[in-house]
Amino acid sequence: MTMGRPLRIEYEGAFYHITSRGNEKRTIFQNDQDYFQFIQLLERIHKRYEVLIHTYVLMSNHYHLLLETPSSNLIATMHDLNAAYTNYFNRRHKRVGHLFQGRYHSLLVDRDAYLLELSRYIHLNPVRARIVDRPEEYRWSSYLNFISSVAKPKWLCISEVLGQLHGYLGRARNKYRYYIEEGLKGTIKNPIKEVQSGLVLGADSFLEQVKEQSQDIKKDTEIPVLRELRRRTNIEPILEKVAAFYNIPSEKLFQKRRPPHPGSQVALYLVRKKTDLSLNEIGNYFGGRHYTAVSAAYRRVEKRRERDEEFDQGLKGIEKET
């Protein structure tokens, strides 16, 4: 009996740890030009598929990526990346055939529980492989962009990881360097060993969320008209309840200002949570905000709910009425 291909679960805002290895563990990066070409392809998939690349390290015969997919398009993204690099590599090195060992391996990641730890595990890969003594000595990694002001490529998103340590960039960089140094002092656990069901890195509650997400995706695929109906309902009631909660006119929820009005953040959060609109669609609905602003608002409100019981109870009241 043969094993089927591993299930690929896609949904908007998902975080993935991606690894892909050379066929028969062969080299996939033979020289600097190969590394540079792959990095250019990372920029390409960021622009083409709007994926957010949070961490990367390129080793001689494999690579690691931490990706976020605001548009629920991991399969298309990874097909483009590996196919484009294979075509380049075969053409440049005058070879034919497969470059990578089967399909890439992907793990769904619970960002709150594992994103920081997984980024350290990725950045310390060259040290574990005894290529360098310290991660900052390795050229083909995002680590230097995390700890110094060296020019960061626009497509690399460091704020998600560093933001878990401190709100100010300078202090977050220092804390992250210290976090990595702690990993150099002794053996750190391999977070990959805590994978559940072969494809999820997260707590039991996260695993249940993934299961629910998978069921919803299946239902939506089977009955597309219901999916479209769900996407377009319940927006106005949400805005009315949020405006009443903050005692402000609904129009104020659409104002873009810094810092954003709390009501605007809550409205973004609830529309994201209670409808099937994509991040881009929500951003456009609220006056052309970028999809990353919607994602950031969602995370901020979630964190406030965890630490502010009164605020959490207020939102529960709105949720029950919409």
pLDDT surpasses 50 at 37: yes
Mean pLDDT across the chain, nearest whole number?
Answer: 85
Q: Read off the pLDDT of residues 155-198 as tens digits, 9 standing for 90 and up.
A: 999 999 999 998 899 999 999 999 999 888 877 778 887 887 67
CA angle 241, 205, 265 (to 5 degrees): 30
CATH top-level class of 14-201: alpha beta
Report whether 282 contacts 294 (CB < 8 A).
yes
Question: Residue 219: which pLDDT band, with cuts at 50, 70 and 90?
Answer: very low
Helix, strand, or coil (residue 148): coil
| pLDDT at site 18 | 96
Report whether 16 contacts 66 (CB < 8 A).
yes
| pLDDT at site 276 | 67
Q: Read off the pLDDT of residues 81-125 as tens digits, 9 standing for 90 and up.
A: 999 999 999 999 999 888 998 889 999 999 888 999 999 999 999
| pLDDT at site 151 | 82
Q: Read off the pLDDT of residues 267-319 as tens digits, 9 standing for 90 and up.
A: 888 888 777 677 777 888 888 888 888 888 888 888 888 888 888 888 888 88
Q: How far apart are CA 5 and CA 159, in angstroms?
A: 34
Residue that is written with structure tokens 């300078």 in the block: 170
Q: How far apart are CA 108 and CA 164, in angstroms?
A: 19
What's the helix, strand, coil split of the chain in %, to 5?
A: 55, 10, 30
Neighbours of 220 (CB within 10 A): 15
pLDDT surpasses 70 at 243: yes
Report whether 111 contacts 54 (CB < 8 A).
no
Residue 168, burial from CB neighbour count under 10 angstroms (0-12, 13-18, 19+): exposed
Q: How far apart are CA 141 and CA 124, in angstroms?
A: 10
Of 76, 73, 57, 74, whose CA–CA distance to 19 is shortest? 57
Of 146, 141, 180, 143, whose CA–CA distance to 163 is shortest? 146
Compute CA 38 distance to the chain's CA centroid, rounded to the nearest angstrom.
19
Question: Residue 56: which pLDDT band, with cuts at 50, 70 and 90?
Answer: very high
Of 227, 196, 194, whose CA–CA distance to 209 is shortest? 196
CATH number of 224-321: 1.10.1750.10
pLDDT surpasses 70 at 224: no
Using DSSP bridges, classify how beta strands 200-201 and 52-58 pair: parallel, antiparallel or unpaired. unpaired
* Equal CATH topology for 14-201 and 224-321: no
| pLDDT at site 217 | 52
Q: How far apart are CA 305 and CA 1, in angstroms?
A: 48
What is the share, in percent, of the chain residues with pLDDT greater than 90? 43
The highest-confidence range among 258-262, 264-268, 285-289, by mean pLDDT, is 264-268
Q: How far apart are CA 178 and CA 191, in angstroms?
A: 19
Q: Read off the pLDDT of residues 178-189 as tens digits, 9 standing for 90 and up.
A: 999 988 887 777
| pLDDT at site 215 | 56
Q: What ranges make up the beta strands (E) of 141-292?
A: 200-201
Q: How far apart are CA 304 and CA 248, in angstroms?
A: 21
Out of 1-10, 161-170, 205-214, 291-300, pick the least confident.
1-10
Q: How far apart are CA 274 and CA 317, in angstroms?
A: 14
| pLDDT at site 32 | 97
Question: Which pTM was predicted?
Answer: 0.67
Q: Where are the domains of the chain?
A: 14-201, 224-321
